[in-house]
Structure formats: C-alpha cells, structure tokens
A and B are shown apart, each in its own frame.
Chain A
Amino acid sequence: MIAAIFRVVLATTPRDFRTAYASSLERDFAEELSSRPSAVLRLGYAASATGDLIITAIDERTANFRRDLAFAIRSILKTPGIAAVIIATLALAIGANTAVFSVLRAVVLQPLPYPDSDRIVVLSGLKDGAPFGLSLPDFADAHRATQTLAKAAVLVDYSEEHVLEGHGEPRSVTLATVTPQYFDVFGIPPQVGRYFEDRDARTGGRVPIIVSEHLWRTALQSDRNVVGSILRLEDVPYRVVGIAPARLSAPGISAAHFDAWRVMSESDSAAGFYNRNAHMFSGIARLRGDATLAGARADLDRTFAGLRAKYADDRHYSVSAGRFIDDVVGNIRPTLVAIFIAVAGVLAIACANVANLMLGRANARERELTVRLALGASRRRIVTQILTEAFAFAVVGGTLGVLIAIAAVGAFVASRPSFVPRIEDVHVEGMTLLYTATIVIVTTVVSGIVPALTFARRDLAGALKMSGRSGDASAGERGRAALVVFEIAATLALVVVAGLVVRSYASLTSRPIGFDASNVAIVGPIQTSGSRYNSEERKAAFYRKTRARARAIPGIVDAAWSFAAPFVPVQWNQSFEIFGEPTPVGAVPSARMNSIDDAYFAVLGIPLRAGRTFDARDRATTSPSIVVNEAFVRTYLSRRAPLGTKLLLGGSSNRTKPRVYATIVGVVADARGSYATAALPTIFPALAQSPPYIAELLVKTRPGVAVDTALANIVSDVDPRFVRPEIASMTATMAQSAARTRLTMQTLVALAAIALILALSGIFAVVSYGVSQRTREFGIRMALGARPATIRGDVIARAMRVAAIGIALGVIGAGFASRALTITLFDIEAIDPITFGCVIALVTVSVLVAALVPAWRATRVDPAIALRYE
C-alpha cells in the first residue's frame, strides 16, 4: 500500500529522471522501510520520503521548462532583428484582436442590464410590410387581446426638447412621452420615488413626470425632495413622481438618451395620439410567463388579423416583434462581426508569418539542433524547445498587444462614435484579458507547431552529412511554402472584402444627392414651444426675425428655415387625400412633410421644375400653398397636371382639425434625405403658413468665410431665453451619416494592408531562402553558360507557382466571405468582377515584386565563389 503510493508519485516525475533512477529509488525505499523497527516509524519515513519525491517531481519538471525558457530567451537575443519583427507582428495582431474583442463583447455580446433582458421585446408597426409606426388604439387592442405579453407600453416616436429654467444655467431637456407601464417592462426599481401607474394617465392637473438619474444628478443636485415637487419645462409645470436609475437612460427603443419621461394622459387627445391613423409609436413589452418570442409573434399576427378585419383603417397594417437587444445592437452587429473575423484572419496570417520566420531561424540553427539530436536529446525535447520559444514570443507579443489595445480602445471610446451603442461600457477588462490569454496559447501552438514538427521529422544523418548548408531542407521548404499559400489565400480574401466595402462606400457617397451641400451650415434644431410661442403668429415671427439677422451677417449669402433638413434624422409622415379623387379605404396615401421658407430651394440649389416656389403671396392669411417634389408627382399624380391640384392634408379621418385644402404651386427636383434611401415623395408646406414647433436654419455662406461665432448669437439676440444652438456644416452632417460604413471601410483597409505586408514578407523570406539554398546549383548553371534571365525566370516561376495556388484558394474563400457580407453592402454585387479582378492583379504584382529582389540576387552569384563554398 505504502509502496504503491510511492510508485504513483514516482510516475509523476519526468521520464528521463524516471528511466534512470526509478529502480534505485524503489529499492532504496524498500530497504530503508524494512530497516525501521515499528509501524509508526515506517509510516513516518514513508510520508517524508513521498513528500520529498513530490517536491523532486515538481523541481525536475519546472527545471526543464525553466531551462527551455532561458535557452529560448538566449537564442531570441542572438537574432534580435528577426525577434523584433516577430514580436512586433504578434503585438499588432494580438493587440488588434484584443481591442476588437473588447468592443464586440461590450457592445454586442453583453446582455442588456435588465433582469431576464432576453424576454423584453420591441414592437414595431408595419405598413404593407415596411416599417411605419404603431397607432395607440391598435397597440391597446393588441395588448388586451394577446396572451403572451405581460407589461407593455408605447413611446412616442419623436422626443421634445424643452428648456429647464430655475436650476442653474438654463439647459435643454430631452423629454419622451410614454404610456404608464413603460418602466415596469424593464424590471428594475426606481432610484427614488415611484414609476407611473395606470391612474396617472387619467388624473387631470399636473402631468406626472419621471426624471433621469443624470438630470437629477447634474441639474437637481441629487435632491431626494425633488420627488413630489413641481418641475417647470419652459412654462409647463410637471409633477415629479420618481427618479429613473442610470441604466434606464441608456439608448432605448429610439436609440436616444432621455432626460425625462412624461406620462401620456387623456388630455393628450388634442395631440391626436388616440387616433387609429396616427402611426407615431414604438412599443416595448415583456413576455408573459413561459411565452416565447415565436409564440408572441404568432399571437400578435392573429390579433392584428382580427384588427384588419374589424377596422377599415387598419387594412394595410401589421406589427413585428423582435428582441430588445437586436433593436439596440442589430445595426452594428454585422459590422463588428465582420471586423472581428477580419482581425482574426490577420492573426492567422501573422501566426503563419511567425511560423515562417521561426522556420527560417531554425534552418539557420539547423546544425545546432541536429547536433543536439545526435547527442541524444529526444525529439520531444526539441519540439518542446521550439514550442517554448514560440510561447516566449507570444507572451511578449501578447503583453505589448494588451498595451496597444488599451491605447486603441481608449482613443476609439474618446472619439464618441455616435453609431456605436453602449460605447460607454467598452474597455479592456478581465473577460478581454482572458480572451487575450487564450489567443496567446493558440498563437503559440499555431505558430510553433509547423516548425516543431518539421524539425522532429528531419532526417538526422542526412542533415549532418550535408553539413547543414546546402542540406536537404525540402521538408522545411515545403512547410514554408504551405504557410505562404495560406497567407496569400487569407490575404486575398481580406483584400477582396476590404475592396468591396471601399467600392460600396464610394458608390454610396458618390450618389447624386440632388442638392449642393457646399458652404452650407446647419444651425439648430431650435424648438419654439411654451407659452411664448403658443400661436402660429409668434412662431412665424420668431423664424422671420432670426432669419433676417442671419442674412445681415457679412459673408452669408442666404438663409432658410426648414423643419427637416436633408441628412438630419427627423421624420414627419403625413397622410393626405387628393381633391376630386376617391381615396381607397384603408390605403390613405402618405408623404414626408417638410415645412420650409421661401429661400430653402435657393440655399440648397434644388432646381424648380414647374410653377413657382414660395413668396410674399404665401402668408398666414392666404390660402395654403404647397410645393411637391418629382417623386411625389411620379407616385401620386402621374395621371394629372400637378400644378393647381388640391390636397387635403391629414386625411378625412383626422377630425380634430378643420379640413383645409392646400394647393400645389410648384414642383421641384428630387433631393435625397440620406445616402441609403432614394428621394421619398415629399410635400413642402410654406413655413409662414404652418410654422413647425422645431426647425433648423440652413445658411449658405461665401466660400472660406467663418460665420459660426456670429451665427451662435442670432437666436439669443431675438430671445435671450434660448440656449446656444448647435452649428454643423452640411458636409460634416452628411459624413456623420456614413460614419459607420466609413469606419468599417477604414478598419478593413488597414487590416488588408497589414495582411498584404505580412504575406509579402513571407513570400520574400521563402524565395530568399530558396535562392540561398540553391546558390551552388545557380553557380554551376551559370558556369555552364545559363543566361541570368533564365535563372531569374526560374526563381520567379517557382514563387508564382506557390502564389497561384494561394490566389486560387483565396478567390474561393473571398467568394464565401463576400457573400456573408452582402447585407452591409450598397449597390455592389457580392461577386463583383471588378473588385475580384483588381485584387487578383494587385496580389499577383505584389508577389512578383517580392520575388524580384531575391531572383536578382540569384544571378549576382559569382560561379567561382559559389563552388568554392563546398
């Protein structure tokens, strides 16, 4: 029994130790044991001897590793140039992977910070299958009828900006409007006070409001007594009932940060909320009990089928339900996943390159390794030795990589990319480091295994006989060629993907947008609300006065107010009827609305196609005039003359406002509202006749004139209670709208460039090595009269044969990769022949160039010298 334990421990010692001393140890142990007179003494000796053996086993095992490591570091230091290249390659690749993973983890992989957050679903309205917004009555009916939704609420699709006064500096507050159960959906308790209750929607008097933790902390000094008090936003008093925790200010279903939420009350009927045709809501709900998302979808489809049968107004409407997390990160997920795959590809290429360099180093040390083999080092020891070296490289590279990642992630987060949700959660932390550690291990194995196995298989006697210089290195050479094939294939796929995204971005941003964005600045948005602007006259007067001031600024050519400037993400859809045409029931036509003043088309350089734009004739007192765009005419007025046609805005089912017909006085050319979508049918009402509650001032300046400082004051000059407006150039706003595609493009291009450089250095190293191995052969051939061109051709042909295999495999890989990428591409076919052709040409030429230098060197060999080497 005692001896058995001793033998088990003995088995844990390294093999070389065991082979040499196991029998001696066992015999000594038995002899010593039998010399003890009593069982107690025997047991005491057995325990101490076994303990001693355990320590010996640990010492022996780590001694091997420590020796290998010390040896690895010494041999790394012997070739500092190659070592530096290897470490830099790994640091960049591991750093890039660490950085991308930390973004992917925080933004995409991490669940939302609510209990059972995967049971929260978002409800979106559809019209004929396209996103259109829910109506409140439809939502209420559906919530009542379904068995699958527990708490559910809707939120108005637009938020309002109000000025908060009396709490330090006046500041702008983003106010959302929600139904009472909104906060209950998320399942986290309020910071202070309470959330809304169903009765809040019915009580008259002060409207209840919930304030965000951020506003409470920054403007209200975290005062708990705020709850129960009255908060004035402009002139409207609200009753504060609770403070929402910080987690709830995060991008919600409208991807906006809210400062406060007010409950939708029945007095809001004036706003037209309780109207089956008012499709201006998004819904959010928690699944009931054990209901599944699929079950909820089926349930909602059934309910909406009933609504469509019951209400003529609902004939074209339905609802879609999706996970909340998809709503928050759905847009960015394919982009980040694509970048993650690309960066993993770069790591694979980097590993191949490092393996290649290590093989090169090992070739140079061939004699040393061979001598060690001959002196009795086991092949396993040599393999362990090479893997230890790979491990040392990976650990140093990984450590530097983490530092690179921390810097890169810090810079990325500091740039506050607006298209990345949850960016505030992104940092390099424990989970990321665990991932990096895994990469380091994988890198060790991947970059070490090819050189290690190549050496383990090498024919010892042959290598020694050939004195290691012109020895048979064909196994090594084949291994290196295989690595280069892989590098070229992966690089080609990566360059193709980057090329597709570049083409896509170029095509996206070079689309004719239909207006002249140069030298145009956007001031605002400015919101005119509260009692100071409670009439259309007062609003119109404000717009008139501020515009006059803007126009008086030297350097400004013209200025125009507009409800929704192009590339500003604001939407206002309005249903309408055409006078004299029967409107099909349930198919009320609708169009984008954009209230503008008379200079709008001039400022943006949008040409007039027929009729006139607005002028002094279009006043509040005259009958309403409207201008429409060509898309509107194509869609709705193809069978009649547009000029003089009268439209009933709001449609016949809007009974809250008097029926007013507006007359089309002009038709303008189409202009895009964003890069991604074509020009939509649009109605332009005259700002003087229907001044909106919110608008932006578009300013056309003379080239090279800075007017921002002068513009910053025009609003407060007219009304000192306004906060300073934001000012942005039109071109910057447009660039912002393409920022996600641009960042994807820049990242992929950078990764593709790194991959190409790595692959070319791989080719270069392999061809150079091949040439150095064949020095003698070239010398003999040239001595026998071979022309240099023939030799050069021979070297290049060898390189191109390897490259051709890589390119062929790469084209196949690129085909799969780009097919997966199609969803994020604009206008480009996944198998785009131009991109593929260009990339194949680029890679071929690059390989040619990389092979040219060693090929040239091959013909510079002096035959006499080459032969003397032997």
Chain B
Amino acid sequence: MSRSEHPETPPLSAATFHILLALAGGDRHGYAIGKEVEEQTAGAVSLGPGTLYRILKQLTIDAWIAEIDSADDEHERRRTYRLTSRGRAIAQAEARRLDALVSVARARRLLPALAR
C-alpha cells in the first residue's frame, strides 16, 4: 500500500532515512541534523559534511524537506530545514516497509516475539 502511494520512491538510503528521522523530531539546521543522526545511532552513523549537504540539497529539490527562515541566531541566519508533508509521508512509508521486514524477521525467529 505504501508503495502505491509513492511509486517513484525506491527504498531509501540509510543516510537519507536517518536525516528524515532527525527532522521528524523537529526543525533543525544542517549541523544539528548531523549531530542528531550521530546521537540516534549512538555514533554508528556519522555523516561527512559534504555527504550531508549533498543529500539535503537533493531532498530540497525533491521537496521532501524545505528550508525555512529561522531566527535562532542573531548574527547569521543558518539554513534550517523542516520535514514537508510529502517527506513525512515518505518517511512513514519507509518506516512501515522496515516494520514489515522486522515482522517477517520475527516470524522467522530472527528476533524474539513481542511481549503482548
């Protein structure tokens, strides 16, 4: 079902999904996104600055995220990003896809069954 909503969207790259997840928690500027990704993966995923902005550029073009004005810095404006509704839908679709995969993994006893 999720595939039919966004037929043009292949499984997301890990880095892209992490960025979408970071923004799902609220608007952030680039540097903060990088930090958030590091935190939510306990340091397992660390995005280089080039990779980070390259993905942010592509996500902006695809309108999964949007740049917003922010006033959290007095001297210079930082580029701050917000998840668009489209981006949110795609992140949800990806989460569902992964969830389905995890269910399969449980059914095959790769993971312990969830407690009821």
Interface residues of A (CB under 8 A from B): 13, 17, 20-21, 23-25, 27-29, 31-32, 48-49, 51-57, 59-60
Contact = CB atoms under 8 A, between A and B. Distances in A.
Contact residues of B: prevailing secondary structure: helix
28 contacts: A17-B53, A17-B54, A20-B57, A21-B53, A21-B57, A23-B76, A24-B29, A24-B53, A24-B78, A25-B49, A25-B50, A27-B31, A27-B76, A28-B30, A28-B49, A32-B31, A32-B49, A49-B50, A52-B48, A52-B51, A53-B48, A53-B49, A54-B50, A56-B48, A56-B51, A56-B53, A59-B54, A60-B54
A84 B48 CA distance: 46
A52 B50 contact: yes
Contacts of A31: 31
A57 B79 contact: no
Given A17-B57, A21-B79, A56-B51, 10 more contacts: A21-B57, A27-B31, A28-B52, A31-B31, A49-B49, A49-B50, A52-B48, A53-B49, A56-B48, A56-B50
Contacts of A49: 48-50
A325 to B, nearest CB: 57
Contacts of B53: 17, 20-21, 24-25, 56
B34 interface: yes
A29 B79 CA distance: 15
A9 to B, nearest CB: 9
Nearest to A10: B50
Interface residues of B, number: 16
Interface of B: 29-31, 34, 48-54, 56-57, 76, 78-79
Question: Looking at chain A's contact residues, is the secondary structure mostly helix, strand, loop, or mixed?
Answer: helix
Given A20-B57, A21-B57, A28 B50 contact: no
Contacts of A48: 48
Nearest to A31: B31
A372 to B, nearest CB: 14
B37 to A, nearest CB: 13
A65 to B, nearest CB: 16
Contacts of A57: 50
Given A27-B31, A28-B30, A28-B31, A51 B48 contact: yes
Nearest to B47: A52
Most chain B CB neighbours (cut-off 10 Å) among A17, A29, A52: A52
B34 A56 contact: no
Nearest to B34: A28
B50 A53 contact: yes
A671 B98 CA distance: 97
Contacts of B34: 28
B13 to A, nearest CB: 13
B79 A24 contact: yes
A13 B54 CA distance: 11
A71 to B, nearest CB: 15
Nearest to B67: A20
Nearest to A59: B54
Contacts of B79: 21, 24
Pick the 9 closest A-B CB pairs, nearest first. A52-B48, A56-B50, A53-B50, A21-B53, A28-B31, A52-B50, A56-B54, A25-B49, A24-B30
A717 B49 CA distance: 95
Contacts of A23: 76
A51 B51 CA distance: 10
Contacts of B50: 13, 25, 49, 52-57
Contacts of B57: 17, 20-21
A59 B55 CA distance: 11
- Of listed A28, A57, A59, A60, residue having the most chain B CB within 10 A: A28
A25 B78 CA distance: 11
Contacts of A27: 31, 76, 78
A23 to B, nearest CB: 8
B81 to A, nearest CB: 11
Contacts of A21: 30, 53, 56-57, 79
A188 B109 CA distance: 80
Contacts of B76: 23, 27
Nearest to B48: A52
A27 B77 CA distance: 12
A823 B98 CA distance: 81
Nearest to A29: B49
Most buried by B among A24, A25, A31: A24
Nearest to B58: A63
B49 A52 contact: yes
A70 to B, nearest CB: 15
A447 to B, nearest CB: 31
Contacts of B48: 48-49, 51-53, 55-56
